[in-house]
């Protein structure tokens, strides 16, 4: 079969644009309304998307936010559903759509996470995936009674964590449960494997008390783009969620991950690289531009600055909003995002105000504004010129931002033969492979 794009729907309850929820047509209460998620998931499945992707944060991210800024944001840092609970409900009302949940190796323990995701995978018929992240936020760390870990320590812990989870998912062989009523044999002990893991960070006996799913175990997704993050992705991930804003950088990242994967003995097509893209699509370019400018005009300066501080992982106190961005200290947070925005500021001579306005729309991911044909053309170029295997679509507001993508962009991609007409299988891994 010809190569086709993989598509994920990345859902923030308030939309990707930090002011998108303020549009008159936007839904502002998705963080408490499951029915809207159900409708969105079914719409994504009708459009033959591979997966619905839910991000997470383990607390109200108050560290960089003033009380005023925090009260004015509708972002996931303020309120959202817990991902595994939400995705279990979504899995019950869909049949083919993959369900991807974010969980941190910094705050979870391996056995509990392995058990929860294995259960989601079993309940969904083999459609679950774990988005592997490490966490740096002090507000979240305080909820677990620990101090934030340094970047290197987070990834050292993550490497052992992921390997242990994989071992736990291999506790049962696929044919371990004969359920022989006549012979009275429920499971075959020879096909059950205790792990007895003892490492630097974890000691776990096992085995896992959840049977394997139709796809064996959940798909592994990884979202870090620093050096250690790339190594973790190249060793373990089946899907890499990344952020680039131009074709050149995306091609370099794509080539680097595939080279690292080959160094670890993996086949080039063993993982799918899927940058995030936020699309403002309309029937005309002028209409799309007007919608984008409407959202930009609604950015609260306090929210924009606090959001930029979160992305950079450093304090901006004492920096003038309308002067060029000065040198900033290194970050213990998302190092790839820190480098991306500082590089953007230096190359273009941006002020802090201009930089937070630039960050507001796609938060470091690709932002496309235009007609369906224009947007589809850019996505096709990235796909065909070695920058992406597909995209995580990040609607700027909901539900209209996703409806616009389905109405204007998807038919253009389909007319080029770049997206599927029907699902290849029933499990997420089967669909990602085709």
Q: Which residues are known binding-site members for FMN?
A: 56, 102, 151, 155, 225-226
Do 288 and 295 meet the contact criterion of CB atoms below 8 Å apart? Answer: no
Residues in the annotated binding site: 56, 102, 151, 155, 225-226
269 is written with which tokens? 């097509």
42 is written with which tokens? 């079914």
Phi first, then psi: give them for residue 373, nearest 5 degrees.
Answer: -65, -40
122 is written with which tokens? 């079993």
* Distance of alpha carbon 78 from alpha carbon 31, whole angstroms: 9
278 is written with which tokens? 């936020």
Bridge partners for 52 per DSSP: 9, 99
Q: Three-state SS string across the chain, please? A: CCCCCEEEEEECCCCCCCCHHHCCCCCCCHHHCHHHHHHHHHHHHHCCCCEEEECCCCCCCCCCCCHHHHHHCCCCCCCCCCHHHHHHHHHHCCCCCEEEEEEECCCCCHHHHHHHHHHHHHHCCCCEEEEEECCCCHHHHHHCCCCCCCHHHHHHHHHHHHHHHHHHHCCECCCCCCCECCCCECCCHHHECCCCEECCCCEECCCCCCCCECCECCEEEECCCCHHHHHHHHHHCCEEEECCCCHHHHHHHHHHHHHHHHHCCCCHHHCEEEEEEEEEEECCHHHHHHHHHHHHHCCCHHHHHHHHHHHHCCCCCCCCCCCECCCCCCCCCCHHHHHHHHHHHHHHCCEHHHHHHHHHHHCCCEEEEEEHHHHHHHHHHHHHCCCCCEEEECCCCCCHHHHHHHHHHHHHHHHCCCCCCCCCCCCHHHHHHC
Do 59 and 142 meet the contact criterion of CB atoms below 8 Å apart? Answer: yes
Four-residue CA torsion sign, 384, 386, 390, 394:
negative
Q: How many CB atoms lie within 10 A of CB 50?
A: 30
């Amino acid at each position: 079969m010809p190569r086709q794009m993989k598509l994920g729907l990345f859902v923030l309850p308030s939309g990707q644009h930090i002011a998108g929820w303020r549009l008159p047509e936007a839904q502002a209460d998705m963080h408490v309304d499951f029915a809207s998620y159900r409708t969105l998931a079914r719409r994504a499945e009708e459009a033959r998307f591979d997966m619905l992707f839910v991000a997470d944060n383990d607390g109200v991210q108050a560290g960089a936010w003033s009380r005023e800024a925090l009260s004015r944001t509708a972002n996931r840092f303020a309120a959202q559903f817990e991902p595994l609970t939400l995705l279990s409900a979504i899995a019950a009302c869909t049949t083919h759509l993959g369900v991807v949940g974010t969980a941190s190796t910094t705050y979870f323990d391996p056995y509990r996470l392995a058990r929860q995701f294995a259960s989601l995978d079993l309940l969904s018929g083999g459609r679950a995936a774990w988005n592997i992240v490490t966490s740096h936020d002090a507000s979240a760390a305080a909820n677990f009674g620990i101090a934030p870990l340094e970047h290197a320590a987070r990834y050292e812990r993550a490497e052992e964590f992921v390997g242990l989870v994989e071992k736990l998912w291999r506790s049962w062989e696929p044919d371990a449960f004969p359920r022989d009523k006549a012979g009275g044999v429920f499971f075959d002990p020879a096909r059950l494997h205790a792990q007895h893991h003892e490492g630097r960070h974890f000691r776990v006996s096992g085995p896992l008390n959840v049977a394997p799913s139709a796809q064996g175990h959940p798909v592994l997704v990884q979202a870090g783009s620093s050096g250690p993050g790339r190594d973790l992705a190249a060793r373990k991930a089946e899907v890499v969620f990344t952020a680039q804003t131009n074709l050149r950088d995306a091609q370099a990242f794509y080539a680097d991950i595939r080279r690292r994967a080959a160094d670890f003995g993996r086949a080039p097509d063993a993982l799918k690289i899927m940058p995030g893209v936020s699309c403002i699509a309309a029937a005309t370019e002028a209409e799309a531009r007007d919608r984008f400018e409407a959202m930009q005009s609604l950015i609260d300066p306090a929210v924009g600055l606090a959001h930029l501080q979160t992305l950079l992982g450093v304090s901006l106190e004492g920096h003038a909003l309308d002067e060029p961005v000065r040198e900033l200290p290194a970050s213990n947070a998302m190092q790839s995002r820190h480098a991306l925005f500082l590089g953007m500021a230096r190359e273009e001579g941006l002020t802090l105000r201009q930089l937070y306005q630039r960050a507001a729309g796609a938060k470091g991911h690709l932002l496309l504004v235009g007609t369906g044909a224009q947007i589809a053309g850019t996505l096709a170029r990235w796909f065909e010129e070695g920058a992406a295997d597909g995209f995580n679509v990040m609607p700027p507001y909901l539900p209209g931002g996703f409806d616009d993508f389905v109405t204007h962009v998807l038919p253009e991609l389909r007319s080029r033969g770049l997206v599927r007409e029907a699902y290849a299988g029933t499990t997420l891994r089967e669909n990602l492979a085709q």
